Amino acid sequence: MSGTSLDGVDAAMILTDGHEVFEFGETAYRSYSKEERSVLRAALGKWAGPETVAAAEIVETAHAELLSKFDKAELVGFHGQTTSHRPKEQATCQLGDGAVLAEVLGRNVVWDFRTTDMELGGQGAPLAPFYHFALAKYLGCVEPVVFLNIGGVANLTWVDPSKSRADAPGACLAFDTGPGNAKIDDLVQQRLGVQMDLNGALAAIGNVDEKILERLLKSDPYFTKMPPKSLDRDDFAHWSDEVAGLDDADAVATLVAGTVGAIARGVKDCPREPARVLVCGGGRKNPSLMDMLAAVLDCAVVPVEDEGLDGDMLEAQAFAYLAVRVLNGLPTSAPGTTGVAAPVGGGRISRPGDLTAIKLG
């Protein structure tokens, strides 16, 4: 998995039949270099074509280097690098060719997870919810629980573990809540030349501008739109403009408060209040963000590590899980997760020696 934060590639092995998670295996990480990240950033907002060839080659090379270490893997789930996601236009772009990876790695690769869902009227995102449902079962959850991923964009999955399967009506509700770390990362990179607000240090000393925060949370009709719904990394560009006049610390603190406020609104849209919010993604490493979340939500807010899970690798695990579901002809999304009309299984399977991908769904 290579997410919208553009930090690098996560890889994780799991043992699963596409229903239950039986065992967690080895993990690995391959960071993007400064030069690679620059090329990938230049591809954001663009579609696959001549302008993105260099970026696609970086994505394929980085994934191949990392996945070559997993010699015991029977199947690979490859998400690719999202550069554009426009659900209103039924269009999405994840750079990287799974057929190339299959040839290089010498094993079957499942990829292009989003296209079929969008062709059938879905948002194409988020796609991790069925894995979240499996994890809730793995953890033995009884009451509804929320999995909150704070990456470049923040998204949540509300899970009712009393349901028998992830695609059952009412089992999952999932959607992007709003900006996650992307606006914060972009600001500190532009102003300070650093990749992120490490450990939330700037946010901790900054003061939230309440007037600007109110505008951030009222200025976009996205917040009043009922889920399921999804975003592109570069949506909410006006947030950056709103904090342009603040000093570094106050700007970061205000953007963090905006991310938290959007998440809090999202939790209110859940069918029932969750017993816990389990946080994964880079945002859980920001103490200021986590403290703000705990202050505005009425339930426990904890990193997924408190439940014995790996918050750095959960998204990568999700696409391993989805790959097995695609291979077994099982749904990977449903009305409650992407807004698609009915449960649907998508994805392509590429096999070594066959550069034509089989499209399912």
Q: Are residues 239 and 255 in the same domain?
A: yes
Q: Is residue 2 domain-resident?
A: no
CA distance 7 to 151: 10
Q: Are residues 152 and 242 in the same domain?
A: yes
Q: Extract the tokens encoding 127.
A: 């796609």
Q: Are residues 120 and 138 in the same domain?
A: no
Q: Are residues 151 and 119 in the same domain?
A: no
pLDDT for position 361? 52
Q: Are residues 50 and 142 in the same domain?
A: no
Q: Extract the tokens encoding 73.
A: 């893997």
Q: Are residues 256 and 136 in the same domain?
A: yes
Q: Are residues 30 and 118 in the same domain?
A: yes
pLDDT for position 359? 62
Q: Is residue 250 domain-resident?
A: yes
pLDDT for position 360? 61
Q: Is residue 3 domain-resident?
A: no
Q: Are residues 261 and 163 in the same domain?
A: yes
**Tally of structural domains, the chain:** 2
Domain that holds residue 182: 129-307
CA distance 30 to 262: 31
CATH number at residue 198: 3.30.420.40
Q: Is residue 1 domain-resident?
A: no
Q: Are residues 299 and 151 in the same domain?
A: yes
- Picking from 137, 63, 145, 73, the residue whose alpha carbon sits closest to that of residue 104 is 63
In tens digits, the chain (361 residues) has pLDDT values of: 998 778 899 999 999 999 999 999 999 999 999 999 999 999 999 999 999 999 999 999 999 999 999 999 999 999 999 999 888 888 999 999 999 999 999 999 999 999 999 999 999 999 999 999 999 999 999 999 999 999 889 999 999 999 999 999 999 999 999 999 999 999 999 999 999 999 999 999 999 999 999 999 997 899 999 999 988 877 898 999 999 999 999 999 999 999 999 999 999 999 999 999 999 999 999 999 999 999 999 999 999 999 999 999 999 999 999 999 999 999 999 999 999 999 999 899 999 987 665 666 5
pLDDT for position 219? 73
pLDDT for position 358? 62
Q: Are residues 302 and 318 in the same domain?
A: no
Give pTM, 2 decimals.
0.94
Q: Is residue 319 domain-resident?
A: yes
Q: Is residue 194 domain-resident?
A: yes
Domain finish residue from 307, 334, 350: 307
Q: Are residues 92 and 25 in the same domain?
A: yes
The per-residue pLDDT for range 307-349, each reduced to its tens digit, is: 999 999 999 999 999 999 999 999 999 999 999 999 999 899 9
Q: Are residues 192 and 227 in the same domain?
A: yes
Give the per-residue SS3 of the chain: CECCCCCEEEEEEEEECCCCEEEEEEEEEEECCHHHHHHHHHHCCCCCCHHHHHHHHHHHHHHHHHHCCCCCCCCEECCCEEEEEEHHHCEEEEECCHHHHHHHHCCCEEECCCHHHHHCCCCCCCCCHHHHHHHHHHHCCCCCEEEEEECCEEEEEEECCCCCCCCCCCCEEEEEEEECCHHHHHHHHHHHCCCCCHHHHHHHHCCCCHHHHHHHHHCCHHHHCCCCCCCCCCCCCHHHHHCCCCCHHHHHHHHHHHHHHHHHHHHHCCCCCCCEEEEECHHHHCHHHHHHHHHHCCCEEEEHHHHCCCCCCHHHHHHHHHHHHHHCCCCCECHHHHCCCCCECCCEEEECCEEEEEECC
Main-chain phi, psi angles of 286, to 5 degrees: -100, 100
Q: Extract the tokens encoding 135.
A: 């994890």
pLDDT for position 357? 59
Domain finish residue from 268, 289, 307: 307
Domain finish residue from 266, 281, 307: 307
pLDDT for position 234? 77
